[in-house]
Structure 1
């Protein structure tokens, strides 16, 4: 069984790659359940080129639509053909813990409504929506309640869950809310998605394990960064797992910053733990730093922490690539979630857990 996928806010293809890799064979019939790309959209041209090159196999593809989602002809079946599933990692800028958390009142917060518009236009069998963990507390929790209510009213049974991706084989502590919606008529027929159980809850993949696998000589996006002599000296005094406020730093190398001391500033990785969260923006000191070498990580190293294979090529300049990697959903995390969805439709059993009660609509409404 083949599910054709449409995607909004696609990013470079973390969700899409995970969906491509999630293939399930029904034991009784041998039928292959899989997901195929049909169309996608993202605002950024470099990001769209990365998606086209790696998901579609060519630099530019007519099924990849660059530009504002507001201009996408949703519902025009000639330009955007029918789909069986929709994915949308709607922009997290106004929901992130880092920032003003404007939620629905920000410039980006209302963009989830284009996911709603696409769902109403195409009535996909299922959808997958993604956002940061801070979504549940934006606008004092009202934003998340509104989003879940709008999705539910489209005619879908929702299974929201806060996934801790380090528990699913991702060498990075990255926590994201994923909402899986199964159309009500399918849910009532018994196609009832459940949250897949963690695969590495007590045996995390570490940053050291991910980054010490040898690189090919011509590996892509692996240019070493350049640093000033002062930054190199700072890093030389920061211990593994430490940051810019390490007691080892001499006075003349300490940052003159008032207010909060963000723990990720010039923070070295701990090779024996999953990395801290890969981000796509930020100034000096936010690029993630090697546990031993006096330098920031390369984009390829960041991509490994996001579980992109080394042959996945990111297009654009270095900062553009950094942004793409930071905005992506980890491929392996996406693959596990899509595999569970496909197993749901194929009737294949898999290990399950109860969804996080703190992100369930009824509980959220009751707490208000």
Structure 2
């Protein structure tokens, strides 16, 4: 079976590329995989990137550049039926780095459009993704509400806290991913299980050094423009050791940052070539662009894309800062691919290595009155 797949909040195509490359042939010589049907994303550069890299015909009118709040999910003449839905709803209001407004923020309620799509199209399976801070926003209430709505619309759900460095991604990127199987199929024995990590221990992790040097990135690679730093920044970086940041003691006083109360560990932080990188982000001012372990410069967008496991022939469209944002917002294709392959094997009835889902997502001690209810929604 090839799952006809749609996406909301599609981004530049991290999820789509993972789906496009998730295929296998079962013991009966039947092929399993995913095929693009339609997608929605509000940013034009991001849509251009998606079309160029994901569609066989970049001119096909199946990727809609539109704010999801005005996107008509009931238009079945424009939106074909689907078997799978992927939606990485915006994380701005759930991130631990932000104010964690959760459901009270501008972006927090946007998950409801994923719920509406599930109700409208009734796909066999869905994959929803967000940051780890989702479980603590609004003192845990936001996460409980989202789980309840996904269950109430007719799905058996399996949320799990994935550490992508344990799935071959050269980056410490931690995300909550919820897989849902439509209840009537679950009652027939279709049971998704969390795929076991493929690089489970520190010694197995793919490092930033491996990602950026094996093979080397050609100087003329697409999206590989270097940043023109001022002399003061270059001088400051020269004092920061591998893995260090802007507050190491070696930096002379005249080169130190004059920022009161700021001690964020990732400000002007160099990579450690022998470890996965820290989390690639898509926004932020000076000092947040990620920095090479020994060259006195920020990473290029192509280097960030490698840490996100995009291939070198995945060409991001738009200006330098637009591309940086696209790369940072994307889900790493290599990490998601393991989850999508587990979904295919689940439906094919084939065994695969699996682990128990994260237990801390199943019981919320702050809400004892709803603890039993939530435990009944999430598989133990």
User: TM-score under structure 2 normalisation?
Assistant: 0.94
C-alpha distance in 2, partners of 1:189/1:356? 25
Match of residue 285 from structure 1: 287
For structure 2, the 5+ residue unaligned runs are 375-380
What SS is found at the alignment partner of 2:269? coil
What SS is found at the alignment partner of 2:322? helix
Match of residue 9 from structure 1: 9
1:149 and 1:361 in contact (8 A); partners too: no
What SS is found at the alignment partner of 2:52? helix
C-alpha distance in 2, partners of 1:246/1:280? 25
1:4 and 1:35 in contact (8 A); partners too: yes
C-alpha distance in 2, partners of 1:216/1:228? 25
What SS is found at the alignment partner of 2:238? helix
Match of residue 359 from structure 1: 361
Is residue 2:206 matched to residue 1:205?
A: yes
Residue 219 of structure 1, CA deviation: 1.8
Q: How many residues align?
A: 367
What per-residue deviation string (whole Å, max 9, x for no partner) do you get for residues 156-178 of structure 1? 00000000000000000000000
Match of residue 33 from structure 2: 34
What per-residue deviation string (whole Å, max 9, x for no partner) do you get for residues 63-118 of structure 1? 00001001212021111111001110000000001111000000000000000100
Is residue 2:341 matched to residue 1:339?
A: yes
Residue 58 of structure 1, CA deviation: 4.4
What per-residue deviation string (whole Å, max 9, x for no partner) do you get for residues 226-279 of structure 1? 100000001000000000001110000111111141000000000000000000
The 3 A distance-change label for structure 1 pair 362 and 186 is farther
Is residue 2:258 matched to residue 1:259?
A: no
1:50 and 1:313 in contact (8 A); partners too: yes
Residue 198 of structure 1, CA deviation: 0.4
What SS is found at the alignment partner of 2:145? helix
Is residue 2:170 matched to residue 1:163?
A: no
Residue 354 of structure 1, CA deviation: 0.2
The 3 A distance-change label for structure 1 pair 217 and 263 is closer
Is residue 2:226 matched to residue 1:224?
A: yes
What per-residue deviation string (whole Å, max 9, x for no partner) do you get for residues 166-220 of structure 1? 0000000000000000001111111100000000012100000000122245421
Match of 2:299 among 297, 300, 306: 297
Residue 360 of structure 1, CA deviation: 2.2
C-alpha distance in 2, partners of 1:135/1:284? 27
1:104 and 1:110 in contact (8 A); partners too: yes
User: TM-score under structure 1 normalisation?
Assistant: 0.98
Match of residue 45 from structure 1: 44
What SS is found at the alignment partner of 1:141? helix
What SS is found at the alignment partner of 2:210? helix
C-alpha distance in 1, partners of 2:77/2:152? 27
- Cα RMSD (Å): 1.3
What per-residue deviation string (whole Å, max 9, x for no partner) do you get for residues 310-353 of structure 1? 00000000000000000000010111100000000111111000
Match of residue 195 from structure 1: 194
Is residue 2:310 matched to residue 1:311?
A: no
